[in-house]
Amino acid sequence: MSITYPVLLKKLEQELASAKNAGSTSQMREYVASMKTLCELILESGDGLEERPASQSAKIIPSQAGMQSFRPQQEPVRNVQVEQSKPMNTDDGANGDSIFDF
């Protein structure tokens, strides 16, 4: 089954509408990333896509759930905390914070 330009353009329009109605910036970014993927698919396919209208090309219309695979998954941001070391105590009383402490 080949995908036609009109099918991809229709999906782009749907993603744009969803991005405009997104409740948060992160949701909007997900829709925009999906749009980017669809645009790259169009540009990189070259002549691989058919130009005939979607109504003539395929009888199977992808569902919204099936198109979800185009959305890249974003890893959650992890807060990394670095444990600060305690000053080193030496025999001569220096605290070890600097090589110039005597």
Q: Is 34 exposed, middle or buried (0-12, 13-18, 19+ CB in 10 A)?
A: buried
Domain for residue 92, yes or no? no
Provide the domain count of the chain: 1
Mind listing the pLDDT tens digit for each residue in 69-98? 555 556 666 666 666 666 666 666 666 666
Determine contact, residues 53/4, Cβ cutoff 8 Å.
yes
In percent, the amount of the chain with pLDDT more than 70 equals 45
What does the block give as tokens for 23? 């409740």
In a domain, 78, yes or no: no
Nearest in space to 42 (alpha carbons), one of 63, 70, 21: 70
What residues make up the domain containing 23? 5-70
- Statement: residue 28 has pLDDT above 60: yes
99 domain-assigned: no
- Residue 54 in any domain: the answer is yes
Tell me whether residue 38 is in a domain: yes
